[in-house]
Structure 1
Amino acid sequence: MQTLAIIVNYKVAALTVEAARSVLESESLFPCRVVVVDNSEDAREESLLRFALPRGVDLVVPPDNLGFGQACNLVMENFSGDFILLLNPDARLLPGCLQRLQHVLLQEKKVAAAGPQVYWDDHCNYYLPPPSTPFMFLYAPVATKAPPGSWIKKYLGLFWRRHAIKTWRSEAPMEVRNLSGGHVLLKREALERAGGLFDPRFFLYFEDTDLFMRLRKAGYSLVFDAGARVVHHYDQSAQHDTEKKRQLFMESHEKFLEKHLTGGKLWIHKILGGLFLLCRENSDWEKIPVFTAPFRLEVPASVRKNWLFEWSPAPDFIPAAGMFGRGEYVDFSAEYWDMLAPGRYYGRLGGLSGKSLDRCRVCWDVREKVVMKERKMDE
């Protein structure tokens, strides 16, 4: 048996090299072949990869940017492997991760995919959001029509929080309804029976949720194993062409809805969208002070024994990253600040039950990072 690892690079060559190295250095039950696809359309990126990728890693450079899904399809069609490992270029496997995921797939014939616990930072303090359930992808977006602070947005935010806490605090492997295509191990046999790897209509985004829905429809199950761990320096490649990627997200979401919302589901979607327009606005984020530099928050005395701090680019916290802790303060240090792409972020702090959640909130703005160019001596 063999594991085929696929990494799709987009203008983050240095991180891609580290991702490939993490796979090669991982303990594995079978031989592992690593293939990198460079979608950058950039000669400098290609040159960096050819120079720095570890020996034995195959590099594929298509003439055009194929998108994530099609790049993965290209590798799967041209390279052999009983297990397919997909890994984002800004992620890396931690020791023991690959072997644990392999064990999960070997234990049950009907398990088609296994995913790890994902951390944002090298210290593994912050958990990245677990994958949303297909229900959230199908119906939660209609809630965007509701005004800020409306009851539906608060409800969905709390629903998401419970889902995240359950995933982050889990210890034993558990069956789930969705995984992330950015770090997952798949069975080739199951993929072939479910219609292939990724649907080519999705250039970027939602190709993975579509895949996992097809696998479950074909009778397979998905397993999340918290003991397998990955660090994902989220959104590093997305810092390039941010507006273009936002547009691609919206286009892929429309295609996803067109494919999966049929019959009664479509009518439910339309009715909910109309009802949410009638919700009242109840947002007070404009009253919350905005930080423009790393900050420290004082934790309410009632939750100092066990709290959760969440942050998100969305004020409804769908999705959100989170850190558990104890003590009097939460420090959002310069190390974390510098990992974020420019933009507005929202934070909330409370007990695991939600206690004090509305009393301790914060906003912050990360601005464009300015790189000073050297001036010529004659200027």
Structure 2
Amino acid sequence: MDAPRVSIIILNWNGWKDTIECLESLYRIDYPNYDVIVVDNGSHDDSIQKIKEYAKGKIEVNSKFFKYNPNNKPIKVFEVNENEAKRGKFNRPLYEKFDVDRRMILIKNKKNYGFTGGNNIGMKFALSVLNPDYVLLLNNDTVVEKDFLKKLVKVAESDEKIGIVGPKIYYYDYNGKSNVIDFAGAYLILWRCGEKRHCFRKVDKGQCDKILEVDKVEGSCMLIKSEITTNVGLFDEKFFAYWEETDLCVRAKKEGYKLVYVPKAKIWHKIASSSGGVLSVFYVYHMTRNRFWFLIKNFPQLLKMHLLYVVLWELWLKFGVFVVYHKKPKMFFVYLKGLLDGLSLKS
């Protein structure tokens, strides 16, 4: 049986150094049937030039996770502008002549459409032009293990009701360690709009090595069956960034699909690299605002309970974290603005 086709979509926005490290790890995988689609989301640095230089073999990528491979360079880059991508204009016969590790599609968006819009453009293009069995959304600030995709696909193919699968995700660097778990599947705690992550920030000692059906697969690496895009839809672009993958997971479960965590598939993630980190204005605002949008959209009956939780506990916790501990009172006001905009459904 032929291996199912997987179109891998990597979103870049002013982050070419992370992107080429991710690409170098991808072009080492042992899966035989994949596409690499880099979607540049309107970068205003020299990302496009640098990615093309990497593909020509002019930039040697150094990483603690692998040695640079010069033997699969040059990689043929097929450049597609945003309008061409939306129209599905592409020379597929020429593209198919190249080996999977010697080709790349580079979609050049006019502007930054966020995580949601950028990935949606990539998915629509892949689905219309390449007809894959799966799309894999992969953050550009990740590094993958050689066999991660083979293991994800194996589990996804084991049950027709499995719609989305995700790997074990380690911190790229957690106080010098690369074996600390960031994500091993999660269950949603809806009344506080939170989640319970298995083995969160624990050194991996095999304690989270069981395949699990979960409520959420982390958006930094999601293998999605193509039929999901038809029966459930793509990302809700209103979110722009953050909570969009949780929204997609909830919608998929409502349609009867299973979400599964695959522990033997492994990647490493730098965490919020493109948005400036977890203490950036962008991250704090969008994470706060969007969770209210998520709750109002999917579970409006829980809104009053969540507001009670915020008033009695979270406000004081955030004050302590931002003002007392980090000495960043500005971030507390960013958090408050996120609360107000989320409740008013202001975008």
Structure-2-length-normalised TM-score:
0.68
Q: Deviations over 1:66-96 (max 9, x none)?
A: 1111111111111231111111111021121
Q: Does 1:242 align with 2:280?
A: yes
Aligned partner of 1:308 in structure 2 is none
| 2:238 maps to which of 201, 204, 223 | 201
Report the alpha carbon displacement of residue 224 of structure 1 after superposing the two structures with TM: 0.6
| Structure 1 unaligned blocks of 5 or more | 143-155, 287-312, 316-342, 345-379
Give the distance between the partners of 1:182 and 1:96, measured in 2 at CA.
17
Q: Deviations over 1:196-225 (max 9, x none)?
A: 121111100000000000111100111111
1:68 aligns with 2:71: no
| Structure 2 letter corresponding to 1:260 | N
* Residue 299 of structure 2: aligned partner: 261
Q: Does 1:96 align with 2:147?
A: yes
CA contact (8 A) 2:170 2:180 kept: yes
Equivalent residues of 2:185, 2:198 under 8 A apart: no
Q: Quick one: which amino acid aligns to residue 126 of structure 1? A: V
Q: 1:186 to 1:110 in 2, by over 3 A?
A: same
How many Å separate the matches in 2 of 1:42 and 1:209?
29
CA distance, structure 2, for counterparts of residue 215 and residue 141 of structure 1: 18
Choose the corresponding residue for 1:126, options 164, 180, 183. 180
Task: Give the Å deviation of 1:177.
Answer: 1.2
**2-structure distance, mates of 1:141, 1:106:** 31
Q: Which amino acid aligns with 1:203?
A: F
Classify the secondary structure of the residue corresponding to 2:250. helix
| 1:42-73 Cα deviation digits (max 9, x unpaired) | 14122112221443111111111011111111
Superposed counterparts of 1:188-337, under 5 Å? 188-194=226-232, 196-239=233-276, 242-262=280-300, 264-273=301-310, 276=312
1:52 counterpart letter in structure 2: Y
- Aligned-residue CA RMSD in angstroms? 3.3
- Provide, for residues 3-60 of structure 1, a one-character-per-residue CA deviation record: whole Å limited to 9, x for no partner: 00000012220211121232222111x5100111112531412211222144311111
Comparing both structures, which one devotes a greater share of its residues to helix?
Answer: 2
Partner Cα distance (2:261, 2:50) in 1: 34
Q: 8 Å contact 1:130–1:164 — kept in the other structure?
A: no
Q: Which residue of 2 aligns with 1:3?
A: 6
**Residue 111 (structure 1) aligned with residue 162 (structure 2):** yes
Question: Aligned equivalents of 1:208 and 1:162: distance in 2?
Answer: 20
CA distance in 2, matches of 1:172, 1:82: 25
CA contact (8 A) 1:172 1:226 kept: yes
| Aligned twin of 2:17 | 14
Give the counterpart letter for 2:182 in structure 1. L
Residues in 2 aligned to 1:198 and 1:261: alpha-carbon distance in whole angstroms: 18
CA 1:238–1:314 in 2, change beyond 3 Å: closer, same or farther? same
CA contact (8 A) 1:24 1:32 kept: no
Q: Distance in 2 between matches of 1:259 and 1:140?
A: 15
Q: Partner residue of 2:332? A: none
Q: Is the 8 A contact 1:115 1:224 kept in 2?
A: yes
Q: Aligned in 2, Cα 1:140/1:166: closer, same or farther, shift over 3 Å?
A: farther
Kept after mapping to 2: 8 A contact 1:68/1:204: yes
Q: 2:117 corresponds to which letter in structure 1? A: Q
Q: Is the 8 A contact 1:179 1:212 kept in 2?
A: yes
For 1:140, the aligned partner's letter is R
Q: 1:177 aligns with which of 180, 205, 215?
A: 215
CA distance in 1, matches of 2:123, 2:216: 21
Aligned residues: 268
Q: 1:146-157 alignment to 2 at 5 Å?
A: none
Once residues 13 and 160 of structure 1 are traced to their aligned partners in structure 2, the CA distance between those partners, rounded to angstroms, is: 30
- Relative to structure 1, is the Cα distance of residues 49 and 163 closer, same or farther in structure 2, using a 3 angstrom cutoff? closer
Asked whether the equivalents of residues 134 and 209 of structure 1 are also in contact (C-alpha less than 8 Å), the reply is no
Deviation at 1:259, TM superposition (A): 0.8
| Aligned counterparts of 2:215 and 2:112: Cα–Cα separation in 1 | 30
Candidates 187, 191, 194, aligned match of 2:225:
187
Q: Could you tell me how far apart the structure 2 residues matched to 1:271 and 1:234 are? A: 30
SS in 1 for 2:17: helix
Distance in structure 1 (CA, Å) of the matches to 2:37 and 2:306: 40
Residue correspondence of structure 1 range 343-362 to structure 2 within 5 A: none
Q: Percent identity?
A: 24
- Structure 2 unaligned residues grouped into runs of 5+: 56-74, 77-102, 328-347
Alignment-derived partner of residue 51 in structure 1: 53
Question: Distance in 1 between the 2:107 and 2:218 partners?
Answer: 23
Query: What's the secondary structure of 2:22's corresponding residue?
Result: helix
Letter in 1 for 2:191: Y
